[in-house]
Amino acid sequence: MTSRDEPELGLHPFAINLLADMMKEVSQTKQLIVSTQSVELLNVLEPEHVVVAQRINGATTLERLDSARLKLWLDDYQDLGELWKRNVLGGRPSL
């Protein structure tokens, strides 16, 4: 298993697309765990490739996104990054 925290930091926005393509290719043979706060990176991923981590009642929960469940939202807003910014996906830090 490989883990990487925010690999897109410092990348040109176009390079984030290249990074996503490389991640998808590598994920065919290896498990990748990548944390990000990048709207641009979320925008080029499929919902099923994203697991949202958040803290609920003092415990960390992990939820894989589901295209069918998000269909109406995606029809209106088109991309995961916008849904994340609007807190539809969860994953916001606790205050």
Q: What is the pLDDT of residues 2-30, one digit of tens each?
A: 556 677 777 888 888 899 999 999 999 99
Chain-wide mean pLDDT for the chain? 87
Q: What is the pLDDT of residue 94?
A: 67
Give residue 51's pLDDT band: very low, low, confident or very high (50, 70, 90): very high
Helices (H), the chain: 13-26, 39-43, 67-77, 80-85
pLDDT at residue 89 above 70? Answer: yes
Q: State residue 2 phi and psi, 5-degree precision.
A: -115, 140
